[in-house]
Every structure is written in structure tokens, then in C-alpha cells.
């Protein structure tokens, strides 16, 4: 008889990209071993009608297994239009799956949310915090996601998610300079080739890039230092994720690790929001009353 293997589909709809992963509840460790995963821009959303094929192509699928997506968890901060399209694709592709929209609440998976209005907190920020708290419990954490916006949040043992900062993301910063000035170019297509031999650049492209990169690093440094002051200790760890991390990472050794005190206190996670949704899905399966 064929065994039916039950999977959860996790979806992180950010303001630039939609990321997805297939997860099977069980022991979790970093990096997460997704059974299948992918991502696409908003402009490519129509391709989601081929999601079952994209998933099947990646799954290790021995003959005796039938693959069933029996639940979907969505974190969406990209608006009602994207939510409606996502729900339509899920209904079309996985008609038997239960679809859950993850939103921020006062408490989830053992983490308290101290936002004045807990439901106002972006679901991606809360999911990221849940992931960080799950893997690094009892630690003062700065949790950063560097996407369309850069969000830099804090978790304190005994208190939970205490709040954070929302800043323009790296790409958003660079684009806003190009849009709002007469003489500054758009760096989007050349970002992959840009390097910074000196913080004080001697040309326009590198000067823009230096400004944007160091603004991001500076915000992270401020967050780490503030949390260190609040905890009266240097034992603060940074968990960081998001599409802009590959551009920022070359500067971590000079600008973040000295603040943290040790390389061991820096954790780069491929997709923290999806990881948080896996924590939520697992908690809901194991402890249905906890969500």
C-alpha cells in the first residue's frame, strides 16, 4: 500500500519577492532542510499555477509515497491584492489543503509580543522573531531582516519581542536616491559588481553604495549597542536574513563582529520568515492550543 506523506507549504510574501518552501514536521535544525523551495517576484506571480509541478520536481519521492500538501501557512505583508491571488492559486493547486494566514498576536510558540497593538506588527517580523527565539532561546537577540525594508527588532529573555526599527532596505535606499535626484544613477543592475575598497569613495557609484551599505550597518550597530546597554552585558547575538544580506555580508567582519565580540554571535539564516512559519506549523500540530 502507498504511504501518504503529509507536508506543509509555507509562503512568505514580502514587498518585493514571494518565497515558498515545503516542510515536514519533525526535528528542526539550522539551516532548515526544506523538501522543496523557491521564490519569485510579484510580477511573476502567475507562475504559481505551476507550483505543484515545481514542488514535485524537487521532492525525493520514492515509489511508495504519495505527496500531499495538507496545509498552507502564509505570511503576507504585500497587501490584499497579493493575498487574494495567493489564496486563488492555493484553491486551484491544492483544493484539499487547509489555508492559514499567519498574523501577529500577543503570544505565539512561547514568545510574547510587546508591540502596543500586537496585531499591527508585520507578520514577517513576528515570524522572524519566532524563528530566532526557537533556535536561540534565553538569549538577548537582535533580529534583522534586510528586504524591501530593513527591520531590526529585539528579543529579551523574560520579556519577549520588545519592538524594533523599520528603515528603508538597501535597494530601496539606493533607488530612492536615483528617483529623487537629478544626477544620481540607479545602481540596481550593477549592484552585483560593486565593491568598496574605501568607505570614502572617489566616484559617484561607489559613494552611493558606501552611503547605503554603511547606513544599514550603522543601524545594526546602534541596535546591538542599545540592546547590550539594556542587558548590562555584551552577550547579544544577531540573527540576520533577507535578500540584501549577500550585499552586506562582505562588511560584517569589519563592522558587526567587533560590536558583537565574537563571530559565534552572528547567525546568517537563509529565510527567517519561512523558518518562523515552520515553527508556527509545528507548534500548531504538536500543541494545537498554543497558537
Ligand X SMILES: Nc1ncnc2c1ncn2[C@@H]1O[C@H](COP(=O)(O)OP(=O)(O)O)[C@@H](O)[C@H]1O
Ligand Y SMILES: CC(C)(COP(=O)(O)O)[C@@H](O)C(=O)NCCC(=O)O
| Residue 17 contacts ligand X per CB under 6 A | yes
Please, what is the minimum distance in Å from the beta carbon of residue 85 to ligand X?
A: 15
Helix (H) or strand (E) holding 35: none
Stretch in the footprint of ligand Y (CB under 6 A) among 34-42, 54-62, 146-154, 225-233: 146-154
- 283 annotated ligand binder: no
CB environment 86-97: b (16+ within 10 A), e (fewer): beebbeebbeeb
Q: Beta 236-241 vs 140-146: how paired, if at all? A: parallel
* Minimum CB distance to ligand X smaller for 109 or for 240: 240
Task: Give one DSSP letter per residue of 166-204, joined into a string.
Answer: EEE-HHHHHHHHHHH-SSPPP-GGGGGG---S-SS-SSH
Q: What span, in angstroms and rounded, lies between the C-alpha atoms of 72 and 90?
A: 8
Place of cell 562582505: 250
Please, what is the minimum distance in Å from the beta carbon of residue 18 to ligand X?
A: 8
Residues 83, 74 contacting (CB under 8 angstroms): yes
* Minimum CB distance to ligand X smaller for 241 or for 265: 241
Q: Which of 69, 140, 149, 279 binds ligand Y (CB under 6 A)?
A: 149
Q: Which of 8, 16, 228, 265 binds ligand X (CB under 6 A)?
A: 16
* Minimum CB distance to ligand Y smaller for 71 or for 153: 153
Q: Is 138 a catalytic residue?
A: no
| Residue 188 contacts ligand X per CB under 6 A | yes
| Residue 276 contacts ligand X per CB under 6 A | no
Q: Which of 111, 227, 244, 284 binds ligand X (CB under 6 A)?
A: 244
- Binding at 151: pick from ligand X, ligand Y, none (beta carbon under 5-8 Å per type): ligand Y
3-state SS, one letter per residue, for 112-175: EECCCCHHHCCHHHHHHHHHHHHHCCCCEEEEEEECCEEEEEEEECCCEEEEEEEEECHHHHHH
- Binding at 212: pick from ligand X, ligand Y, none (beta carbon under 5-8 Å per type): none
- Binding at 17: pick from ligand X, ligand Y, none (beta carbon under 5-8 Å per type): ligand X
User: Restricting to residues 53-82, which ones interact with ligand Y according to CB under 6 A?
Assistant: 77
- Binding at 188: pick from ligand Y, ligand X, none (beta carbon under 5-8 Å per type): ligand X
Q: What span, in angstroms and rounded, lies between the C-alpha atoms of 54 and 41?
A: 16
Q: Phi then psi for 25, rounded to 5 degrees?
A: -55, 145
Q: Which of 15, 24, 205, 231 binds ligand X (CB under 6 A)?
A: 15
Helix (H, G, I), strand (E, B) or coil at 58: helix
Q: Which of 10, 82, 90, 121 binds ligand Y (CB under 6 A)?
A: 121
Q: Which three cell numbers stand for residue 52?
A: 505543484
Binding residues: 12-19, 115, 122-125, 148, 204
Active-site residue list: 124
Residues lying near ligand Y in the complex (CB under 6 A) are found at 14-15, 77, 120-122, 124-125, 145, 147-149, 151, 166, 169
Amino acid at each position: 500500500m502507498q504511504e501518504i506523506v503529509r507536508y506543509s507549504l509555507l509562503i512568505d510574501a514580502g514587498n518585493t519577492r514571494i518565497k515558498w518552501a515545503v516542510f515536514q514536521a519533525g526535528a528542526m535544525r539550522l539551516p532548515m532542510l526544506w523538501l522543496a523551495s523557491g521564490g519569485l517576484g510579484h510580477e511573476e506571480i502567475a507562475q504559481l499555477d505551476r507550483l505543484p509541478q515545481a514542488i514535485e520536481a524537487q521532492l525525493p519521492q520514492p515509489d511508495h509515497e504519495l505527496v500531499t500538501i495538507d496545509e498552507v501557512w502564509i505570511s503576507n505583508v504585500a497587501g490584499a491584492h497579493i493575498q487574494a491571488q495567493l489564496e486563488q492559486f492555493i484553491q486551484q493547486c491544492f483544493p484539499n489543503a487547509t489555508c492559514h494566514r499567519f498574523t501577529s498576536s500577543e503570544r505565539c510558540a512561547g514568545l510574547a509580543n510587546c508591540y502596543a497593538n500586537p496585531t499591527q506588527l508585520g507578520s514577517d517580523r513576528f515570524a522572524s522573531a519566532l524563528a530566532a527565539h526557537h533556535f536561540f532561546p534565553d538569549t538577548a537577540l537582535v533580529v534583522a531582516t534586510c528586504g524591501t525594508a530593513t527591520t531590526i527588532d529585539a528579543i529579551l529573555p523574560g520579556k519577549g519581542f520588545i519592538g524594533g526599527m523599520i528603515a528603508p532596505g538597501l535597494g530601496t535606499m539606493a533607488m530612492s536616491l536615483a528617483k529623487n535626484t537629478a544626477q544620481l544613477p540607479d545602481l540596481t543592475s550593477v549592484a552585483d559588481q560593486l565593491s568598496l575598497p574605501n568607505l570614502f569613495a572617489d566616484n559617484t557609484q561607489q559613494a552611493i553604495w558606501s552611503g547605503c551599505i554603511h547606513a544599514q550597518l550603522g543601524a545594526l550597530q546602534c541596535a546591538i549597542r542599545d540592546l547590550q546597554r539594556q542587558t548590562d552585558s555584551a552577550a547579544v547575538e544577531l540573527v540576520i536574513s533577507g535578500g540584501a544580506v549577500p550585499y552586506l555580508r562582505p562588511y560584517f567582519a569589519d563592522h558587526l563582529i567587533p560590536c558583537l565580540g565574537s563571530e559565534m554571535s552572528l547567525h546568517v539564516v537563509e529565510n527567517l520568515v519561512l523558518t518562523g512559519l515552520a515553527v508556527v506549523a509545528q507548534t500548531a500540530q504538536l500543541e494545537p492550543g498554543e497558537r
